[in-house]
Amino acid sequence: MPPAVKTTQAHAGQQPATEAVQEPSVAEDDPSSAPNSAAPNTATPNYADYAVVAARHPWRWVGTVIVVALAAAVLYSLVSNPRWEWGVVAQWFTAESILRGLGQTLKLTVISGSLGFLLGFILALMRLSSSPLFSSVSWTFSWIFRSTPLLVQLLLWYNLGYLYETIRLGVPFTSITFAEFQTTSLISQFAAAVLGLTLNQAAYSAEIIRGGILSVDQGQIEAATALGIPRWRRSTRIVLPQAMRAILPTAFNEIIGLVKGTSIVYVLAYSELFYTVQVIYNRTQQVLPMLLVATIWYIVITSVLSIAQYYIERHYSRGALRTLPPTPLQKLRSFISTHAPIRSTASSTASNTAPKGQS
């Protein structure tokens, strides 16, 4: 173990002179090892103690300069142009009405997102089932809801009271009735928004989930079947977790789309974030700053979702990769620990491996 011997010496602050004294014993153990400070006098020098010089990427520096310059220019114009009216943005950003609208947006997203994906999962299983009834019902559902504009669906649900004045629970084609409701009292703006967004989301997520399920190796299902594991458990415990790797990237696209997609329910005069902003700028005429308020909130939500996406995807890649790559936080920590101020670098490097160049 010649390097270990040298490391101790370098750490103790001893110089090549001492090393040379130690040399014979080292050479006895391993005749091929050349002393690092001496000129190479054997045919195969020992490279173990050579410092590694990283490859240089000059064009990366050029690229970095251009990108930084562009970013600075955009930032400067955002700050210096008074027409952005940042003061107004700041004033309204956390106003109570805006926060209430934001709450409604989040509520719509969470409710229609989770109901939509749950229904989508069931539709995907129906579509893949061997029953022709289930699979054609599922296909028809997706066909209808994917081929009509969301706007039309929302207005249709909201105006259901015009088409059907009352909703009756009873036996079809008879006069037996258990309960009867006024449609307009059942379908509020909120109910219409949730119905429209959920059903529309379900149609799309059914296809995403079906794609994910199809990407799972048939052998997995076969093995689970052979083990006598019940159908529902097979789907939720064996297939779905493995399908998640294929489902998640697209599913997060959908959810992020849904966050902003909720803004379409302004047609129902439902006071979510976008409608609230509209109401305010119609009154104050500060159109651009108010749109900025909404935009910044959408950016915040999307950022949080993107971070969640990273960690959820990581969770579902367990077992799919032999070792998980480090997270950005872990990378940052290791970067800080290896690029720390000189004194700690010296001690850590010396105690790790390289004795060379630390004088």
Partner 1 sequence: MSLAMNEVTTRGAIAVRSVDKSYGTTQVLHEVDLDVAAGEVLVVIGPSGSGKSTLLRTINHLEKVDRGTISLDGELIGYKVRNGKLHERRESEILAQRTDVGMVFQNFNLFGHLTALQNIIEAPIHAKGVAKATAVARAKQLLARVGLADKADAYPRQLSGGQQQRVAIARALALDPKVVLFDEPTSALDPELVTEVLEVIKDLAKSGTTLIIVTHEIGFARDVADRIVFMDGGRVVEEGTPAEILGNPRNERTKSFLSKVIEPAFNI
Q: Contact, 142 vs 207, CB < 8 A?
A: yes
In the complex, least distance from residue 313 CB atom to partner 1, rounded to whole angstroms: 13
Nearer to partner 1 by Cβ, of 190 and 316: the residue is: 316
Contacting residue, 4, 71, 222, 351, with partner 1 by CB under 8 A:
222
Nearer to partner 1 by Cβ, of 144 and 223: the residue is: 223
Confirm or reject binding of residue 325 to partner 1 (CB under 8 A): no
Beta-carbon count within 10 A of 263 CB: 18
In the complex, least distance from residue 317 CB atom to partner 1, rounded to whole angstroms: 9
**Pattern 227-266, binding to partner 1, x per CB under 8 A?**
xxxxx-x---xx--xx------------------------
In the complex, least distance from residue 208 CB atom to partner 1, rounded to whole angstroms: 19
Span from 75-83, 162-170, 188-196, 224-232 in contact with partner 1 (CB under 8 A): 224-232
Distance (Å) of CA 122 to CA 69, 101, 109, 216, 267: 51, 31, 20, 17, 30
Confirm or reject binding of residue 314 to partner 1 (CB under 8 A): no
The site for partner 1, by CB under 8 A, has a size of 24
At what angle are helices 287-316 and 273-284 packed, to 10 degrees? Answer: 170
Span from 13-21, 111-119, 214-222, 347-355 in contact with partner 1 (CB under 8 A): 214-222
Coil, helix or strand at residue 9: helix
Q: Contact, 197 vs 261, CB < 8 A?
A: yes
Confirm or reject binding of residue 321 to partner 1 (CB under 8 A): yes
Confirm or reject binding of residue 40 to partner 1 (CB under 8 A): no
In the complex, least distance from residue 194 CB atom to partner 1, rounded to whole angstroms: 33
Confirm or reject binding of residue 225 to partner 1 (CB under 8 A): yes
Give the Cα separation of 199 and 142 in Å (integer).
9
Give the Cα separation of 30 and 22 in Å (integer).
13
Evaluated on CA atoms 327, 329, 331, 337, the torsion sign reads: negative
Nearest to 261 by CA among 100, 109, 104: 109
Q: Contact, 109 vs 261, CB < 8 A?
A: no
> Which residues contact partner 1 (rule: CB under 8 A)?
217, 219-220, 222-231, 233, 237-238, 241-242, 316, 318-322
